Amino acid sequence: MRVAVAGGTGVVGRLVVGELAAAGHEPVVLARSHGVDLLTGEGLDAALAGVEAVIDVSDRKAVSRGRAVAFFGSVSRNLLDAGARAGVHHHVALSIVGIDRVGHGYYQGKLRQEEVVRGGRVPWTVLRSTQFHEFVPQTLQQMPGPVAVVPRMNIQPVAAREVARHLVELALAPPRGMAPELAGPRVELLVDLVRRLLHARHERRLVVPVRLPGAVGAAMAGDGQLPAGAGPRGSRTFDEWLAGTVTRGA
């Protein structure tokens, strides 16, 4: 089966491509480095020739609401319009748990993505996932220096590889609309994960937990980013992921 992966060069995208290839399918990477511009649609029609399903894991680190909404809205429309022209049977989009409860600018972009997918001409599935384990080092990267100011946040992190495997399973199955939310095996405090990561790296930095103001901060510190109901759960814990990451780094 020929399956296109939008954002196939990213953290999750590379894993999705690998899962497809390992299962004997033909992955088609949709990215600028492969001659496809998701924002303008250039190269999409040619790339989607013979494609039966599309998995959209495209991403852009746009914090502001306007930029996030514009990016995810444009990319989703381009993928769905080109997919309809090419006869794609199934469009699968990766989204985030809690985006309708946490009024973050980036999350507004993901909500726009879901809205466009629901209104498109291609049968669809949307998978909402909790943050990946990689979210923790990404948080640290945003705050270089001796002090790391970390928002008070409850998360239930999941291994990116498990997310990729689940996306492939969904893409190969009939469209199902909103799929049950995917989360990791346990609820964690982000600040605790940051400290464990620093300890594993033998880095000495002062970690300062801060509650963000307003409704956004309250939702993050509460259960706003945790799954609201039953659904699939990953098995790999953050500590298991961290041990493997540190070993590979060494």
CA–CA separation, 224 and 218 (whole Å): 8
**Distance between CA atoms of 233 and 223, rounded to whole angstroms?**
17
User: What confidence tier does 250 reach under pLDDT thresholds 50, 70, 90?
Assistant: very low
CA distances from 33 to 26, 30, 153 (A): 18, 8, 35
- Over the stretch 134-170, which tens digit does the pLDDT of each residue have? 999 998 888 888 999 999 999 999 999 999 999 999 9
Distance CA 231, CA 130 (A): 12
pTM comes to 0.93
- For 4-27, what is the mean pLDDT? 97
How far apart (Å, rounded) are the C-alpha atoms in residues 129 and 93?
A: 11
What's the mean pLDDT in 82-99? 97
In the chain, beta strands by DSSP E: 2-6, 26-30, 53-56, 90-96, 124-129, 147-151, 154-155, 177-178, 188-189, 206-210
Position 61 pLDDT exceeds 90: no
